[in-house]
Amino acid sequence: MKFSANLGFLWTDRALPDAIRAASAAGFDAVELHWPYETDPAEVRSALDETGLPCLGLNTPRGDTGAGENGLSALPGREGEARAAIEQALDYAVAIDAANVHVMAGVAEGPEAEAAFIANLQFAAARAGRRGILIEPLNHYDAPGYFLNTATQAARIVETVGDPNVKIMFDCYHIQLMQGDLTHRLRTLLPAIGHIQIASVPDRGTPDHGELNYSYIYDLLGELGWQSPLGAEYKVATPTDETLDWLRAARG
C-alpha cells in the first residue's frame, strides 16, 4: 500500500517546501495540501520536482473563515465568489501539477444549496482539463452545518453532475463517524472514489488505533485493486517525525 502525507496536518511547523522534503525523507509516496496559497507555487513545484513526489490535490479557498465560512460552492447567490475560488485553485494546481482539486461546499442546507453546488461542480469540471474534481463529506462534529456530510449524498451528487472527472474524496474518519459500514461502502462506491484518506476514529490520530482496523482496510483495498496512495490526514500531538511508527508498520 502507498501513502500520501497530508501537509495540512503533518509538518506544519515547517515552510511548505521543507514539509515536502520531510515527507520524502520519511518515505511517503506523495503529498497533498490544504490551502497552500500563501506559498509561491514555484517554490512548491521546485520541492516536488526535487523529491519526485506527486501532489495529489489541494482545496479551494474557504471564504471568510472569521465569519465561519468553510467553502463557497453550495452557497446560493455566491456563485461568482465560488467560481473565482475554483479558478484560483485550478490555477495553483496547474502551476504545481497537482492531480486534483477538492471543491469545498460550505455551510448550507436545502435544495437551493444542492443546485448551486451541482452547477459549480459542473463549472469546475468544464475547466479542470486532465485534473480531477473531488467532493468530500465532512462529519458534523468537526464541521457543523457543512452541506455535504455522507457518502450517500456525495454519490448522488456525483451521479447528478454526470462528469467522469468529478469523484468522491472518501475520508474513512469522516465516513465512519457519519455512517460506518466502510467495507460495503468502499466495495459499492469504488468506481466513484477519486481519493481515500485515513486517520483513527474517534480521535483523528495516527491510523493504528481506535475503532477502525486499517490492516483490514488495506487488505480490502488491495483486493479491490486500489493502487493510489492513501492520504494520511491525522492530527499530531508531537513532532510529525515522532508519529510515524504506523507508517513503518504498514510498510513492514
What is the distance between the alpha carbons of residues 194 and 167, in angstroms, rounded to a whole number?
Answer: 5
Catalytic residue among 109, 136, 159, 211: 136
The alpha carbon of 122 is separated from its chain's Cα centroid by a whole number of angstroms, namely: 19
What is the distance between the alpha carbons of residues 201 and 207, in angstroms, rounded to a whole number?
Answer: 8
Cis bond before residue 17 (omega within 30° of 0)? no
What is the distance between the alpha carbons of residues 250 and 252, in angstroms, rounded to a whole number?
Answer: 5
CA angle 196-201-207, nearest 5°?
Answer: 60
136 catalytic? Reply is: yes
What is the distance between the alpha carbons of residues 81 and 86, in angstroms, rounded to a whole number?
Answer: 9
50 catalytic? Reply is: no
Please list the active-site residues: 136, 233
